[in-house]
């Protein structure tokens, strides 16, 4: 198996981070989402989720030993 339990846990955390970012963008009260949540915080959280997904895929637990 190319992925270990740690990879899958990081992937699940990344997916939940992505979902959280999209939820943050959707709850913005400003018209068309032009508030702080829709333009700044939400996209940063989504970007963090994508970075976490890349880290989860590229993480090699064999280097820890």
Q: Which tens digits make up the pLDDT trace of 17-50?
A: 999 999 999 999 899 889 999 999 999 999 999 9
Q: By residue range, what is the domain housing residue 28?
A: 5-64
51 or 63: whose pLDDT is higher?
A: 51
61 has a pLDDT exceeding 80: no
Q: Return the exposure string of 15-38: e unless at least 16 CB atoms fall within 10 Å of the residue's CB, then b.
A: eebbeebeebbeebeeeeeebebb
Contact 15, 46 (CB under 8 A): no
Q: pTM (2 decimals)?
A: 0.88
Number of structural domains found in the chain: 1
């Amino acid at each position: 198996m190319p992925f270990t339990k740690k990879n899958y846990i990081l992937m699940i955390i990344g997916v939940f981070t992505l979902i959280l970012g999209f939820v943050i963008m959707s709850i913005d009260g400003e018209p068309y989402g032009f508030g702080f949540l829709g333009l700044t915080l939400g996209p940063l959280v989504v970007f963090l989720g994508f970075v976490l997904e890349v880290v989860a895929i590229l993480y090699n637990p064999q280097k820890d030993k």
